[in-house]
Structure 1
Amino acid sequence: MDQFDQTLASFIEAAGWLAPVFFVLLHLFRPLLFIPVIVVCIAGGVLFGFLQGAVLSFIGLSLMSLVSYLLVNKFPKFQEKVSRLKEKVFKDRTISVSQVMILRIMPFVHFHLLSLYLMEMSKTFKEYMYYSLLGLIMPAVLYTAFGEIITELPWYLTGLMFIILIIIYFYIAKQNDSRLESN
């Protein structure tokens, strides 16, 4: 990852005023390059600082949400692949918007899978983008601000943080299930 950061830093420095544009495009091409979201957001914090890095990551992730929507709606084979992944990962499980937002914070959770869930929960494109943008604020801010700290934490603290997120996820699921039962 250090080599990636150094290469990216050299490229951004040479790019000058186009650097933010290239960084946002990196978010769009990230899935094709198999680079995790957290790595790109951390790089944004290192290269542009917290505020600009978080804003650029939010813009890049927002555009990726738009691309996800277009891919699912224009290419049925892509939708089939993501739907199969959904069946493997979350068999017969319905998750809420709040749970999707928690999962967005977790590193290495498939971006398009969570976008598919939001599409299925939304009635319109506008509603999908609203929920999607809302769910992208925390990952952009957290990964940019605390990305380096998280990756440098000892494994047990990283594991503890992951367990806390899982507990929050299941707590929301329990609340959601009890709300559905009462209706």
Structure 2
Amino acid sequence: MDGLLTDALAYIEAAGWLAPVLFIVLHILRPVLFLPVLLVTLAGGYVFGLFYGMIFSYVGLMGVSLTFYWLIERFPKVYNKLKMVKEKLLGSKASLTIWQLLLLRIMPFVHFHALSFYVMEESKHYRDYVKQSAVMNISPAIVYTAFGGLIHELPLPGLIVFSLFLALFMFIIRPKKPTDAYQPNDIDAPLPQK
């Protein structure tokens, strides 16, 4: 995955005036290529700088949101799977404000399309979906691109410290694997099967 992103970014950097178009296309193809939103948007800040990176990332995120709306109902298995992910993430009767959606959109471990699915289900029609997506996509375009620009501007020692901080942060918030071992202190735990 990292090799694919690195190759794509090298190609985009060498593309000259076509670079923004290729970057936006990379954003739109990102779900098919299984690239995380965070990495692609960070790369936008790194390659294009803060201002243009935000603009190109925002256009790319809107492209993803708009194509998602038209494609999701054409794939019933994906639709049902996203419905399950959304219900697991937000519950079946969630009622989120736009501010909550803005915050959830920048959480790296919240599924991008589960939030888009939530907005799609809550919208009365396509125009409402586009309006909410337009607001919701502002936060990742600004926050992630700013980090990408920051990484590009940092001197080597600062980049090393920042990378160590990110590695520590990823270690702290990593998913904990549940243990299958029998815990004698747990009264409600069933006894292990033989």
Q: Distance in 2 between matches of 1:59 and 1:120?
A: 23
Structure 2 match to 1:55: 55
C-alpha displacement of 1:79: 1.4
TM-score (norm 2): 0.72
Provide, for residues 132-181 of structure 1, a one-character-per-residue CA deviation record: whole Å limited to 9, x for no partner: 1101111101100124569636259847xx8xxxxxxxxxxxxxxxxxxx
Distance verdict in 2 for CA 1:45–1:89, change over 3 Å: same
SS in 1 for 2:32: coil
Amino acid at match of 2:135: L
- Residue aligning to 2:30: 30
Provide the residue aligned with 1:107 in structure 2: 108
Cα gap change, 1:105 to 1:16, in 2 (>3 Å): same
Contact 2:72 2:78 (8 Å CA) reproduced: yes
CA distance in 1, matches of 2:26, 2:5: 13
Cα distance in 1, alignment partners of residues 34 and 28 from structure 2: 11
Aligned ranges 1:71-82 → 2 under 5 Å: 71-82=71-82
| Per-residue deviation, 1:112 | 1.2
Deviation, structure 1 residue 130: 0.5
Once the two structures are TM-superposed, the CA of residue 21 in structure 1 deviates from its matched residue by: 0.7
Structure 1 residue 5: Cα displacement: 6.3
Q: Partner of 1:30: helix, strand, or coil?
A: helix
Q: Residues 25 and 155 of structure 1: is their aligned pair in 2 closer, same or farther, counting only changes over 3 Å?
A: closer
Bigger Cα Rg? 2
Structure 1 residue identity aligned to 2:132: Y
- Aligned-residue CA RMSD (Å): 2.6
Gaps of 5+ in 1: 163-183
Cα pair distance change 1:158/1:20, threshold 3 Å? same
1:35 to partner: Cα distance: 1.1
* TM-score with structure 1 setting the length: 0.76
**TM alignment of 1:111-130, pairs within 5 A:** 111-130=112-131
Corresponding position: 1:134 with 2:135? yes
Q: Secondary structure at the match of 1:94?
A: coil
User: Which has a greater percent of helix?
Assistant: 1
Instruction: State how far apart, in whole Å, the 2-side matches of 1:34 and 1:12 are.
Output: 18
SS at match of 1:74: coil
SS of equivalent residue, structure 1 residue 51: helix
Give the drift of 1:22: 0.6
Identical counterparts, % of pairs: 46
Preserved CA contact (<8 Å) 2:86 2:114: yes
| Structure 1 residue 17: Cα displacement | 1.3
> 2:153 matched to 1:152?
no
What is the one-letter code of the residue matched to 1:42? L
C-alpha contact (below 8 Å) 1:57/1:140 kept by paired residues: yes
Give the distance between the partners of 2:94 and 2:144, measured in 1 at CA: 27
Paired position in structure 1 for 2:97: 97
What is the CA–CA distance in structure 2 between the aligned matches of 1:93 and 1:31, rounded to whole Å?
A: 27
**Equivalent residues, number:** 160
